[in-house]
């Protein structure tokens, strides 16, 4: 696809405005040295900055007229004033990542959402341990938090949550997880698996369209807020009402919102698979290794 300046610049400018709107609070906090225990996670854990998010990339297979700024960015090539992502060079460097993401996302799409975890992964990260991962008060106190863990089944399927469980919490999980089993265990009801769609887009940038990355980021923001609202921490100071998963009504609310995120994640996963297929196609690769 070839886009003239008149075609791609308005699209890029609209994207930048949207990105600026979504990252405005983070940029304001950074300017005055403030932090946010809930929202900063997406920038810190996933190692991204607002400036990265506002860079518009059309993805592979799109050629831009007069895109001098893109020409200087990594993974781009220019010829006679026409600039595009160098899919061959990207594949040579990141083909393994494309294949991993494809396999993981396709496997996740093949499964039904499991809605019975109730966000207890966050509780397992502080179980029977005087230290907490965040400098926030525990809503039920240490003893109350431990009681919630001990009175529930822990069924976490996400390795990158499981690896932060306390030593006493690890044997309480229904699954012994490791990185090698991630594609076999990931399922679309998992909040962290849905947040990670943003991570995969970042890892595959600039080969995937930036609109997809920002859509995944927007979902991740909402998922993160539920993740912390349902956690053992008291986050009311950040404008979040607790989702009291230790009660039946809290479990119902959590599962309903999980179901919504799962449906939105399904759409994004399909778009991400299409983007991975486009990378292979433009790089001249027939199928995943």
pLDDT digits (tens, 9 = 90+) for 41-78: 999 999 899 999 999 999 999 999 999 999 999 999 99
Q: Are 190 and 109 in contact (CB under 8 A)?
A: no
- Work out how many domains the chain is built from and give that number: 1
Which pLDDT belongs to residue 289? 45
Determine the average pLDDT of the residues in 119-135.
90
Who's near 10: CB < 8 A, 6+ residues apart? none
State the pLDDT confidence band at 132, using cuts at 50, 70 and 90: confident
Alpha-carbon gap, residue 243 to 235, rounded angstroms: 10
Alpha-carbon gap, residue 152 to 150, rounded angstroms: 6
Determine the average pLDDT of the residues in 148-165.
96
3-class DSSP state of 167? coil
Determine the average pLDDT of the residues in 26-32.
95
**Structural domain includes residue 66:** no
State the pLDDT confidence band at 287, using cuts at 50, 70 and 90: low
State the pLDDT confidence band at 152, using cuts at 50, 70 and 90: very high
List the domain range (segments joined by +) for residue 209.
87-283
**Structural domain includes residue 251:** yes
State the pLDDT confidence band at 138, using cuts at 50, 70 and 90: very high
- Is the per-residue pLDDT at 288 higher than 80? no
- Is the per-residue pLDDT at 254 higher than 70? yes
**Structural domain includes residue 185:** yes
**Structural domain includes residue 257:** yes
Which pLDDT belongs to residue 179? 93
**Structural domain includes residue 231:** yes
Using omega within 30 degrees of 0 as the cis cutoff, is the peptide bond preceding 206 cis?
yes
Q: What is the mean pLDDT of the chain?
A: 95
Which pLDDT belongs to residue 134? 78
3-class DSSP state of 78? strand
Which pLDDT belongs to residue 237? 93
Q: Are 250 and 230 in contact (CB under 8 A)?
A: yes
Residue showing tokens 């200087």: 72
Q: Are 177 and 185 in contact (CB under 8 A)?
A: yes
Query: Cα 114 vs. chain centroid, distance in angstroms?
Result: 18
168-181 pLDDT, tens digit each: 999 999 999 999 99
Q: Are 154 and 176 in contact (CB under 8 A)?
A: no
Q: Are 102 and 273 in contact (CB under 8 A)?
A: yes
Provide, rounded to the nearest whole percent, the portion of the chain with pLDDT above 90.
95
Q: Are 138 and 145 in contact (CB under 8 A)?
A: yes
**Structural domain includes residue 19:** no
**Structural domain includes residue 196:** yes
Q: Hey, how many other C-beta atoms are within 10 angstroms of the C-beta on 249?
A: 10
**Structural domain includes residue 262:** yes
Using omega within 30 degrees of 0 as the cis cutoff, is the peptide bond preceding 175 cis?
no
Who's near 266: CB < 8 A, 6+ residues apart? 109, 188
């Amino acid at each position: 696809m070839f886009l003239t300046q008149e075609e791609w610049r308005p699209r890029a400018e609209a994207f930048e405005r949207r990105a600026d709107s979504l990252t405005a609070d983070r940029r304001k906090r950074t300017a005055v040295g403030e932090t946010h225990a809930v929202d900063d996670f997406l920038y810190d854990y996933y190692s991204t900055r607002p400036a990265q998010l506002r860079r518009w990339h059309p993805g592979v297979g799109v050629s831009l007229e007069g895109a001098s700024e893109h020409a200087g960015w990594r993974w781009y090539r220019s010829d006679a004033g026409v600039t595009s992502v160098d899919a061959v060079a990207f594949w040579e460097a990141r083909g393994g990542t494309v294949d991993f993401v494809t396999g993981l996302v396709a496997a996740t799409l093949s499964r039904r959402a499991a809605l019975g975890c109730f966000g207890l992964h966050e509780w397992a990260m502080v179980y029977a341990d005087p230290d907490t991962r965040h400098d926030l008060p525990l809503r039920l106190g240490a003893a109350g938090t431990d009681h919630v863990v001990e009175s529930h089944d822990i069924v976490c399927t996400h390795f990158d949550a499981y690896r932060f469980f306390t030593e006493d919490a690890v044997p309480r999980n229904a699954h012994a997880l490791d990185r090698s089993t991630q594609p076999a265990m990931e399922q679309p009801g998992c909040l962290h698996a849905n947040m990670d769609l943003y991570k995969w887009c970042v890892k595959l940038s600039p080969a995937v369209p930036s609109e997809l990355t920002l859509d995944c980021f927007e979902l991740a923001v909402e998922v993160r807020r539920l993740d912390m609202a349902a956690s053992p921490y008291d986050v009311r100071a950040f404008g979040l009402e607790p989702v009291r998963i230790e009660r039946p009504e809290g479990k119902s609310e959590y599962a309903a919102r999980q179901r919504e995120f799962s449906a939105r994640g399904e759409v994004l996963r399909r778009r991400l698979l299409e983007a991975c297929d486009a990378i292979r196609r433009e790089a001249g690769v027939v199928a995943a290794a």
